[in-house]
């Protein structure tokens, strides 16, 4: 995994609450057996009409969204199905961070494992971000801070181990495998 | 000093800590049972191949196929090819992965195949005090037997395959205390919809729920599974119910339950699992189960549920709410009752066990569904299917005008081609009414098997108490 240290990008805003993983990537695209290429299907039913043509009004289809790597979303983003395809689709599309007041547990875990940073902010910050799509933000993961366009910073919580893994580009599997002796001992006790 | 009283969750958690958590690192948690299915596993097996790893405990791993598999007998047993190529590829890939890694597979034509959350308990593999994971959010279902069971992502599926462990921060605990017995015409599905309405769709985030209180003793295992199944719909990682005599009676004699001395030892262990008197939960919520009415959803998440006789609420100035109603083609302030429906789906890991089918069949017996309506009955497993057929339930459904299918997830998520058409209304006994969940543009109303059957007879949303 690529290390994640800092990121500067403009935002795309999807203000709806409870955006579930079925919206992020509809089930009919889960028949894939690889991780690649899901970015094209990201938010498929919001992004494309029945004929497959882009819906001009959907934010990802607007020119301003090009190159944006930060998604700002309403509360409880990523709820529902555990499909990691949601995190794969977002990162394959080019997103590297998701900001919300609330992020669903399984999605948050999946995001962290794919170098997609879930950032929790308080209500006033979220309100401001939702009201200012396209705002340019700075993220400093080592400091767990988010810099707003006026230069002010807000800090965000992140589980220390997840942060360590992201900063170093480590994956958890290596860490678990290194515990083989403890796992052996546990199995002998059980 | 006396031992600090512990909750059911804490007991199970503690017994599975390979390494306890510290401020710097999460706990290494041992997994007793890993269930695998065709949709969320291919990339995990690929990771194992890439890293040249083996499956650490094939004996603790069981695979089946349910999500993308066909439900027509012709495709399963009649020699017709699987209609969707990509689904056929997933099926093949799981067969290959299981063969290569030595994992037991209850494959496409196996007599014990079924929805992963239906077969675990049915086989007696799901047991009190176990830790159980699966790449599927409704793994919470298994908590009904007193297991700690939760859904994981595909990367974590690879972790468990390779190490039988997961890195986890300890979740908080939430007690949902239930009092009273369910009224006539009210089922566990109505109860959980009422609970989700109360908690909100993110009210359980970061928590493991324990359902407790005097209501539990009145619920059979199928009902308990329905309850725990939808814990994730309140955002909770897991739902649990303390094992009791009902649980033990359910497990006794199941093909993979312990026998003889091992059974006696297990019983002793299981009896020690319930939450100790005086144990503390991080949060507690009380729900009067006796007051719950048949519930139905009107919106695009499971928290948007009302009693079937109620009117759709008004939320002026809430654009998300307005959008949900627009998608559903429903109006604020209107009753939901008598809304015409096109499709009725009885199925899914929430409500496709034998008792669910019996409930629906009891209402349909000797009657016919409304003209023009499509009704699909999809048993939760092949065993449920055979048991239902042995009682003649298939005849009841077929004579009522419904379709009787092979088991699988089917129209719950519409991956296998069983979909609800654009703009159509479906009453579904499944668990998610998200936009497009049952097919692009499909409009889902979640309800109990009883409400689904009653509505099928009239072709519109019907209070089952009027018919039963
Ligand atoms: S029946 Fe539906 S909710 Fe249950 S496992 Fe299958 S797709 Fe998931």
Q: Which of B314, B133, B160, B339 lies closest to B238 in space, CA to CA?
A: B133
Nearest Cβ partner for A105 among B67, B135, B237: B237
A190: tokens are 């059980």
Output DSSP code: residue B140. G
State how far residue B87 is from chain A, nearest Cα, in angstroms.
6
As a whole number, mean pLDDT of residues A134-148 equals 98
- Range B127-145 average pLDDT: 98
The model's confidence at residue A115, banded by pLDDT at 50, 70 and 90, is very high
pLDDT for residue A2: 85
**H-run or E-run covering B48:** helix B42-51
- Read off the pLDDT of residues B334-393 as tens digits, 9 standing for 90 and up: 999 999 999 999 999 999 999 999 999 999 999 999 999 999 999 999 999 999 999 999
What integer pLDDT is reported at residue B468 of this predicted model?
A: 78
Check if B95 contacts A (Cβ < 8 Å).
no
Mean pLDDT of chain A: 96
Ligand 1, from B356, B409, B434, B437: best to mutate by most atoms within 8 Å of Cβ?
B409
Predicted confidence at residue B45, as pLDDT, reads 98
My answer on whether B137 and B189 are in the same domain is no
Q: Are residues B401 and B278 in the same domain?
A: no
Q: Identify the three-state secondary structure at position B260.
A: helix
At residue A1, the pLDDT reads 80
Yes or no, beta carbons of B437 and A27 under 8 Å apart: yes
Hey, is the C-beta of B237 within 8 angstroms of any chain A C-beta? yes
Interface test with A, best of B13, B47, B430, B434 (most A CBs within 10 A): B434
Residue B314 C-alpha to ligand 1 middle, in angstroms? 31
Average pLDDT over residues A85-112: 97
A138 near B CB under 8 A = no
Instruction: Write the CB contacts of A63 (distance below 8 Å, at least 6 apart in sequence).
Output: none
Per-residue pLDDT for B1 more than 60? no
Question: Of all protein residues, whose CA lies closest to atom 2 belonging to ligand 1?
Answer: B412
pTM score over 0.95: yes
Q: Of B32, B42, B154, B428, which to mutate for an interface test with A (greatest number of A Cβ within 10 Å)? A: B154
Given the CA of residue B412, which atom of ligand 1 is nearest to it? 2
Rounded to a whole number of angstroms, the distance between the first and last alpha carbons of chain B is: 56
**A11 near A135, Cβ under 8 Å?**
yes
Pairwise CB contact (< 8 Å): A182 & B19: yes
User: Is residue A165 less than 8 Å (CB to CB) from chain B?
Assistant: no
Give the pLDDT confidence score for residue A76 in this predicted structure.
Answer: 97
Under an 8 A CB cutoff, do B137 and A81 touch? yes
**Which residue among B132, B148, B168 closes a domain?**
B168
Q: Are residues B151 and B38 in the same domain?
A: yes
Is there a single domain that holds both residue B21 and residue B81? Answer: yes
Q: Give start and end residues of each alpha helix (H) in A32-142.
A: 44-47, 85-93, 105-112, 123-131
Most A CBs within 10 Å: which of B16, B18, B231, as the mutation test of the A interface?
A: B18
Q: Maximum Cα–Cα distance for chain B, whole Å?
A: 70
Is the model's pLDDT at B200 over the cut of 80?
yes
Protein residues with CB under 6 Å of any ligand 1 atom: B 66-67, 115, 117, 136, 138, 348-349, 409, 412-413, 430-431
Integer Cα distance of B173 and B7 in angstroms: 8
Q: Looking at beta carbons, which residues of chain B come within 8 Å of A87?
A: 153
Task: Give the domain CATH number at B340.
Answer: 3.30.499.10
Least confident of A1-5, B10-14, B60-64, B279-283: A1-5
On whether the A6-189 domain is CATH 3.20.19.10, my answer is: yes
Where exactly are the structural domains of chain A? Answer: 6-189
pLDDT in tens, B6-50: 999 999 999 999 999 999 999 999 999 999 999 999 999 999 999
Q: What mean pLDDT is predicted for residues B422-430? A: 98
Q: In chain A, what residues touch B417 (CB-CB under 8 Å)?
A: none
Q: Are residues B100 and B178 in the same domain?
A: no
A40 and B CB contact within 8 Å = no
| CA A97/CA A118 separation, integer angstroms | 6
**Domain match, B39 and B150 both:** yes
Is B106:B203 a contact under the CB 8 Å cutoff?
A: no
Q: Tell me: do B275 and B141 sit in the same domain.
A: no
Asked if the Cβ–Cβ distance from A179 to B87 is below 8 Å, we say no
User: Which ligand 1 atom lies nearest to the CA of residue B348?
Assistant: 1
Q: Name every chain A residue with its beta carbon within 8 A of the beta carbon of B88.
A: none
State the pLDDT at residue B2. Answer: 65
Domain count, chain B: 3
> B252 vs A57, B35, B61, B117, B119, CA distance in Å?
58, 21, 22, 19, 15
Task: Let me know whether B352 and B387 are in one domain.
Answer: yes
Which is higher by pLDDT, B84 or B113? B113
Radius of gyration for chain A, computed over Cα atoms and rounded to the nearest angstrom: 18
Spatial distance between the Cα atoms of B219 and B230, rounded to a whole number of angstroms:
16
Asked if residue B192 lies in contact with residue B447, where contact means CB atoms within 8 angstroms, the answer is no
pLDDT average, residue stretch A10-33: 95
Nearest chain A residue (CA) to B437 = A22
Q: Residue B62 belongs to what domain range?
A: 8-168
On whether residue B253 sits in a domain, the answer given is no
Q: Is B113 in the same domain as B210?
A: no
pLDDT at B293 over 60: yes
Q: Are residues B151 and B186 in the same domain?
A: no
Residues 6+ apart with CB under 8 A from B3: none
Gap from A94 CA to chain B (nearest CA, Å)? 19
B359 and B381 in contact (C-beta within 8 Å)? no
**Residue range B386-415, pLDDT digits in tens:** 999 999 999 999 999 999 999 999 999 999
CB contact under 8 A, B205 and A81: no
Beta strand segments in B116-274, E: 131-134, 148-151, 165-168, 172-179, 207-212, 238-240
Quick: pLDDT tens for A166-176: 999 999 999 99
- Mean pLDDT over A48-57 rounds to 95
Q: Are residues B28 and B162 in the same domain?
A: yes
């Amino acid at each position: 995994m690529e290390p994640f240290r800092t990121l500067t990008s403009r935002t795309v805003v999807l203000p709806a609450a409870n955006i579930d993983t079925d919206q992020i990537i509809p089930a009919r695209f889960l028949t894939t057996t690889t991780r690649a290429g899901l970015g094209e299907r990201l938010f498929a039913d919001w992004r494309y009409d029945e004929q497959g043509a882009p819906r001009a009004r959907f934010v990802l289809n607007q020119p301003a969204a090009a190159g944006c790597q930060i998604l700002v979303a309403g509360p409880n983003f990523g709820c529902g199905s555990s499909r990691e395809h949601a995190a794969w689709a977002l990162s394959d599309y080019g997103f590297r961070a998701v900001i919300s007041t609330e992020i669903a547990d399984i999605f948050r875990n999946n995001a962290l494992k794919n170098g997609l940073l879930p950032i929790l902010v308080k209500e006033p910050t979220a309100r401001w971000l939702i009201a200012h799509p396209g705002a340019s933000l700075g993220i400093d993961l080592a400091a767990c801070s988010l810099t707003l366009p006026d230069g002010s910073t807000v800090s965000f919580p992140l589980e220390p181990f997840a942060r360590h893994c992201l900063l170093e580009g480590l994956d958890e599997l290596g860490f678990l495998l290194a515990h083989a002796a403890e796992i052996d001992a546990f199995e002998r006790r059980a | 000093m006396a031992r600090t009283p512990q909750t059911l969750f804490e007991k199970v958690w503690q017994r599975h800590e390979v390494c306890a958590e510290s401020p710097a690192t999460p706990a290494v948690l041992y997994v007793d049972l890993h269930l695998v299915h065709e949709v969320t596993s291919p990339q995990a097996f690929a990771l194992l191949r890439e890293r040249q790893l083996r499956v650490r405990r094939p004996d603790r791993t069981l695979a089946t196929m349910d999500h993308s598999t066909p439900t027509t007998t012709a495709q399963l047993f009649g020699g017709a090819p699987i209609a969707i190529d990509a689904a056929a590829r997933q099926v093949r890939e799981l067969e290959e992965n299981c063969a290569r890694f030595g994992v037991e597979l209850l494959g496409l034509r196996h007599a014990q195949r079924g929805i992963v959350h239906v077969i675990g308990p049915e086989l007696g593999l799901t047991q009190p005090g176990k830790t159980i994971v699966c790449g599927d959010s409704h793994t919470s279902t298994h908590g009904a037997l007193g297991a700690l069971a939760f859904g994981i992502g595909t990367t974590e599926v690879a972790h468990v395959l390779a190490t039988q462990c997961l890195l986890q921060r300890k979740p908080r605990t939430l007690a949902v205390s239930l009092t009273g017995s369910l009224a006539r015409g009210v089922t566990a599905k109505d109860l959980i919809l009422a609970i989700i309405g109360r908690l909100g769709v993110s009210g359980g985030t970061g928590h493991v729920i324990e359902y407790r209180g005097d209501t539990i003793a009145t619920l059979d295992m199928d009902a308990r599974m329905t309850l725990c199944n939808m814990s994730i719909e309140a955002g909770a990682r897991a739902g649990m119910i303390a094992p009791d005599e009902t649980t033990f009676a359910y497990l006794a004699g199941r093909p993979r339950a312990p026998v003889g001395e091992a059974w006696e030892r297990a019983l002793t262990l299981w009896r020690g699992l319930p939450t100790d008197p005086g144990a503390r939960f991080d949060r507690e919520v009380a729900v009067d189960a006796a007051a719950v009415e048949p519930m139905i959803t009107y919106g695009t998440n499971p928290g948007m549920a009302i009693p079937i006789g109620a009117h759709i609420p008004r939320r002026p100035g809430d654009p998300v709410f307005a959008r949900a109603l627009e998608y559903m083609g429903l109006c604020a302030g209107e009753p939901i009752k008598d809304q015409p429906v096109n499709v009725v789906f009885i199925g899914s890991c929430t409500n496709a066990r034998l008792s669910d089918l019996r409930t629906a069949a009891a209402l349909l017996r000797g009657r016919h569904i409304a003209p023009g309506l499509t009704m699909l009955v999809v048993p939760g497993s092949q065993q449920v299917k055979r048991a239902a057929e042995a009682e003649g339930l298939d005849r009841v459904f077929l004579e009522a005008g419904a379709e009787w299918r092979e088991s699988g997830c089917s129209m719950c998520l519409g991956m296998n081609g069983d979909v609800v058409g654009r703009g159509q209304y479906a009453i579904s006994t499944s668990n998610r009414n998200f936009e497009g969940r049952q097919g692009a543009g499909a409009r889902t109303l979640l309800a109990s098997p009883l409400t689904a059957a009653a509505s099928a007879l009239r072709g519109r949303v019907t209070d089952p108490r009027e018919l039963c």
